[in-house]
Each structure stands twice: as C-alpha cells, then as structure tokens.
C-alpha cells in the first residue's frame, strides 16, 4: 500500500503488540510481511524490496547475510494481523473509523467518506475532491518536513530520499551488530553451561 505507513498512533492496543509486529527497519506496523527462508526474521514488503533491489546486497538476507529468499509470512497473515485494529489514515480529515487490518486498504482506497490522496507537491494527505483547489492555494500547498520513521528526525522534502537511504543502511548495520551481540551471548551462555557441570565436580 503506497503512502500508508502505519505508525504507532494508528494501531489500537498496547505498545507491546505494536513492537512485536512492526518492521525492524522502517518501524511501522508490518504490511505484507515476508520472512527469510534461512533465519525467519521478518520485514515488510516495502523494506524487503528496497533491500533486494540494491544489487550490492547480492540477494543475501540483511539479518543473517546468507543467500536467501523472502517469502510471504503466512502465519502472521493468517493468525496475527487480522486481529489488529487500525485507525483510518484520514483521521485528521474527519474519518473516525477503526478498521480490522484486512479491511483497511479497501476502506482507505474505496469506502472512506474522506477519500484522500497524497499531494505530489507537498506530500500532505488531501481530500481527493479538494486536491486541485489545494494545489492552487499556495498558502496550503507548502512542503512540510517529512518525518523519518527510523530516526524520528524531520527533513525537507528534497533532502528526505537521500537521508532515508542512508538512515536505512545504518539501521541495518546496527541490527547486524545487535545480532552479532546476540550470537556471542548465546555462545557465551552455551560455553558456560558446558563448563558448569565439570567445575562443580
Ligand atoms: Zn519496513
Ligand atoms: Zn535471514
Ligand atoms: Zn476512513
Ligand atoms: Zn500540496
Ligand atoms: Zn532517519
């Protein structure tokens, strides 16, 4: 779903639910989640495509670095995500509806009484019926800073794309460091377990 990042404030429920089912890279709620055939870690479709479209990444997983294929994550799609409830993206325009995950896209693109489109010039969500009028009004159609979902900083429109690419790469590097750390801890714990019985003799 284009232009529809599901941020924390749109998901009904506690922080834990959101954290558990958000994409580790863009930090939005998982949309079309895909998991690695090797390590089973999960990414949203957008982040997965962004990663695999970069030839430098040579079809390896960002997390386990093994040659990998990402497949739609059937378990989440079937048993977890359908139970989440999300506020319509047009809440600021007047829509107070809260939708089950699976109905959200249809609602926002067809059923909503406040159908909106993202203005190409300023990136704001604007009522579809008011879009032309909006773009003629210079005082309304001003490019507003875009907030990076990863680092939470705001950027001017023209700087955003470059920033996001960089921020995205940093996030992956950081995740990899954490994973190395986890692996070391695991090894450490295993080694200790091995040592303990002997040393108690
Ligand atoms: Zn993502
Ligand atoms: Zn992997
Ligand atoms: Zn709506
Ligand atoms: Zn605009
Ligand atoms: Zn950022």
- String of DSSP letters for 154-186: EE-HHHHHHHHHHHHHHHHHHHHHHHHHHHHHH
**pLDDT more than 90, % of the chain:** 46
Query: Residue 147: pLDDT above 90?
Result: no
CA 20 to ligand 3 centroid distance, Å: 25
Q: 8 versus 198: which is more confidently predicted?
A: 8
d(CA 95, CA 98): 9
d(CA 1, CA 55): 24
Instruction: Identify whether the C-beta of residue 179 lies closer than 8 Å to the C-beta of residue 55.
Output: no
> Of the given ranges (6-10, 73-77, 145-149, 180-184), which has the lowest mean pLDDT?
180-184
- What number is the average pLDDT over the span 22-46? 92
**pLDDT more than 70, % of the chain:** 87
- What number is the average pLDDT over the span 51-70? 88
Average pLDDT, the chain: 85
Query: 3-state secondary structure string, 14-72?
Result: CHHHHHHCECCCCCCECCCCEEECCCCCEECHHHHHHHHCCHHHCCECCCCCCECCEEE
Can you give the pLDDT at residue 169? 83
Q: 160 versus 110: which is more confidently predicted?
A: 110
Can you give the pLDDT at residue 116? 95
162 alpha carbon, closest ligand: 5
d(CA 130, CA 127): 5
- What number is the average pLDDT over the span 130-158? 86
pLDDT, one tens digit per residue, over 162-174 is: 888 888 888 888 8
Can you give the pLDDT at residue 1? 43
CA 25 to ligand 2 centroid distance, Å: 14
Residue positions counted in the chain: 201
Can you give the pLDDT at residue 167? 87
CA 50 to ligand 1 centroid distance, Å: 9
CA 42 to ligand 2 centroid distance, Å: 9
Can you give the pLDDT at residue 192? 59
d(CA 55, CA 104): 33
Can you give the pLDDT at residue 59? 87
What domains are there in the chain, each with its CATH number?
A: 1-85 (3.30.40.10)
Can you give the pLDDT at residue 201? 43
Question: 182 falls in which pLDDT band (50, 70, 90)?
Answer: low
d(CA 195, CA 180): 22
CA 4 to ligand 3 centroid distance, Å: 13
ipTM of the complex: 0.82
């Amino acid at each position: 779903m284009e232009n529809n990042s599901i941020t924390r404030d749109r998901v009904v429920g506690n922080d834990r639910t959101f954290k558990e089912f958000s994409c580790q890279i863009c930090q939005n709620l998982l949309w079309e989640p895909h998991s690695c055939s090797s390590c089973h870690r999960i990414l949203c479709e957008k982040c997965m495509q962004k990663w695999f479209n970069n030839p430098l990444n040579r079809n390896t997983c960002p997390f386990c670095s093994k040659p990998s294929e990402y497949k739609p994550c059937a378990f989440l799609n079937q048993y977890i995500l359908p139970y989440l409830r999300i506020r319509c993206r047009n809440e600021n325009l007047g829509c107070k509806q809260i939708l089950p995950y699976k109905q959200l896209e249809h609602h926002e693109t067809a059923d909503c009484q406040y159908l909106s489109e993202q203005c190409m010039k300023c990136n704001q969500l604007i009522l579809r019926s008011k879009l032309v009028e909006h773009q003629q009004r210079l005082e309304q159609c001003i490019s507003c800073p875009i907030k990076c979902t990863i680092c939470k900083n705001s950027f001017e429109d023209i700087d955003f794309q470059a920033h996001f690419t960089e921020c995205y790469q940093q996030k992956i590097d950081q995740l990899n460091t954490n994973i190395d750390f986890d692996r070391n801890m695991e090894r450490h714990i295993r080694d200790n377990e091995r040592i303990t019985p002997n040393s108690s003799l």
